[in-house]
Amino acid sequence: MAVSGWFVLLVAFGVVPIAVSGDPAMFLYWLAFCLVVGFIDLAIAASPRAVRLERDLPSRLRLGETVQSTLLVTNTGRRGMHGLIRDGWPPSAGATPRRTRLAVPAGERRAITTTLTPFRRGERRAAHVTIRSFGPLRLWARQATLSVPGAVLVLPPFNSRKHLPSRLARLRELDGATSVMVRGQGTEFDSLRDYVRGDDVRSIDWRATARRAAASGPGLVVRTWRPERDRRVVIIVDSGRTSAARIDNEPRIDTAFESALLLGALASSAGDRVDLVIFDRRVRARVQGATGAELLSRMVSSMAPVEPELIEMDWSAVPSLVRSVTPHRALVVLATTIDAPGASRGLLSVLPQLTRRHTVVVSSVTDPTVLDATHSRTTRDEVYLAAAAERALLDQERVAAAIRQLGGDVVTGAPQELPPALADRYIALKAAGRL
């Protein structure tokens, strides 16, 4: 039950008859009048329970996008319904308007449209719908909450896809342009073609030239190479304690997701097979065996509900995890944090096992404010802060050096710069044939 502002006005208006009549008993008469009118209004209000509700909303959207959620209200009662309706979305779903006026004649159906602009990744659930149905005098209202579950999956935004075209272009440059490239391990024979001026003379295939000369006349033939295809890329994203930290108002795990998505898109179009595992002490999400467009769609939907857990990453389980993903040699990308030697001990202890079989790249987000803090040293507080920042940089540098010593590779960058940096490292490794 609820009352309206009109009822409050009605009660307050009683001052006039009391003042005009001058009779104190008028107070009680007026109160009784208000109550009787209110109860009558309540009795003839339409029942908010006699409705059928249906939801019509898309199942998924990217973070930052806006979708329309439609709620169809069918009045199954015998009286027309006037009132308010509220769709119970959590605040992070960014639902507007919060409450809507409702007017549904008996037996008819109306659509209530709510605009959703979620501001957090993950699954956003609408728990219930509340209807407040006023009587014909708009004084008192009946109210009921109905359970109409609904949910949308808010996917990671993949803002770094703006870097994809330029990286794809560089991949294509690698392809077939290998006569100028020093060929190495991991490149494979592509085709034979005529020699053109500028080609590396070392790539002339003399045997093919001879065969050709016998068949159709003179002319040099060169072999071309292309980067090896069907390599394996395994991305392990650390969803443990350290990934909850925010840098530039973005949790580390979100940056790791952006990097993983860009790398996944790039590697799958380069013909490599990409597998993703999100792990802390147990597997939070796993995408395996998907290719092409399906890969990205499965990656984003498996990433969407994952939030950082406040537990320590279990590095000792990672080698067997990688082995379970692929028994072959692979590029293993560990998206984690290298902040302090103490915190990275687990990572450093299992790294030799990984580097023995695989190419390992550790990608970590660095805090741009740390670097800024080392430069400004005008006051006493700032000097101490700069010292602490230098110490932090030193710690990171020590961990990175240790990783390099153990045969791994390190990519660091600010949240905006890490995804393209990781993609560039992948292209470099591919060009060098180290996959």
Partner 1 sequence: MTDQQTMTRPAIGQPAADTAVLTPRARTVLRRWLFWIGAGLVALVIGVLAFAFAGSAAAGGYLDPESAAPQGSMAVAEVLRQQGVTVVVTTSLEDTQQAIQSPDATSLFVYDTDQLLEASQWRTVAGLTHRVIIADAGFVTLRVAAPAVAQAGVVDGTLSADCDLPVVQRAETVTGSGTGFRVVDDAATATACLGSGDGVFSLVEVPRGEGTVAILGATDAVTNEQVVDNGNAAFALGLLGEDETLVWYLPSFADVESTGPATLGELTPPWVTPALSLLVIAVIAAAVWRGRRLGPLVIENLPVTVRASETMQGRARLYERSNARLRALDALRVGSVQRLAATCGLSRLASVDDVIGAVAAATGGQVGAIRGLLVDDIPTTDRDLLALSDALLTLEREVTRALRP
| Chain residues 37-66 in contact with partner 1, contact rule CB under 8 A | 49, 51-60
Cβ atoms 44, 38 nearer than 8 A: no
- Which positions from 78 to 117 touch partner 1 by CB under 8 A, shown as an x/- string? ------x-x-xxxxx------x------------------
Which range touches partner 1 (CB under 8 A), out of 2-10, 191-199, 220-228, 258-266?
Answer: 2-10
- Which positions from 191 to 220 touch partner 1 by CB under 8 A, shown as an x/- string? ------------------------------
Cα atoms in the Cβ-side hemisphere of radius 13 Å centred on 144 = 14
**Which whole-number Å values give the CA distances from 79 to 40, 91, 139, 336, in the listed order?**
15, 33, 17, 61
Query: Which residues within the stretch 326-385 sit at the binding site for partner 1 (CB under 8 A)?
Result: 339, 367, 369-370, 373-374, 377, 380-381, 383-385
- The residue within the footprint of partner 1, chosen from 37, 168, 245, 414 (CB under 8 A), is 245
Tokens 């034979």 — which residue? 192
- The residue within the footprint of partner 1, chosen from 40, 137, 146, 317 (CB under 8 A), is 146
433 in contact with partner 1 (CB under 8 A) = no
- The residue within the footprint of partner 1, chosen from 68, 387, 405, 428 (CB under 8 A), is 387
Best CA proximity match to 80, nearest among 55, 51, 54, 111: 51
CB of residue 176 vs partner 1: minimum separation in angstroms? 36
CA gap 390, 401 in Å, rounded = 16
Pairing of strands 232-238, 273-279: parallel
23 in contact with partner 1 (CB under 8 A) = yes
CB of residue 113 vs partner 1: minimum separation in angstroms? 15
- The residue within the footprint of partner 1, chosen from 305, 321, 348, 355 (CB under 8 A), is 305
Beta carbons within 10 angstroms of residue 1's beta carbon: 10
Cβ closer to partner 1: 399 or 423? Answer: 399
CB of residue 255 vs partner 1: minimum separation in angstroms? 11
134 in contact with partner 1 (CB under 8 A) = no
Residues contacting 162, CB < 8 A, separation 6+ = none
CB of residue 232 vs partner 1: minimum separation in angstroms? 19
Pairing of strands 331-335, 283-287: unpaired
CA gap 134, 146 in Å, rounded = 17
The alpha carbon of 383 is separated from its chain's Cα centroid by a whole number of angstroms, namely 38
With vertex at residue 276, the alpha carbon angle to CA 351 and CA 367, rounded to the nearest 5 degrees, is 65
Cβ closer to partner 1: 85 or 233? Answer: 85
CB of residue 192 vs partner 1: minimum separation in angstroms? 44
- Which positions from 392 to 421 touch partner 1 by CB under 8 A, shown as an x/- string? xxx--x------------------------
Tokens 């708009």 — which residue? 138
CA gap 265, 262 in Å, rounded = 5
Cβ closer to partner 1: 87 or 272? Answer: 87
Cβ closer to partner 1: 148 or 204? Answer: 148
- Count of residues for the chain? 435
- The residue within the footprint of partner 1, chosen from 316, 341, 390, 405 (CB under 8 A), is 390
307 in contact with partner 1 (CB under 8 A) = yes
Beta carbons within 10 angstroms of residue 216's beta carbon: 8
- The residue within the footprint of partner 1, chosen from 127, 208, 317, 432 (CB under 8 A), is 127
Three-state DSSP at 141 gives strand
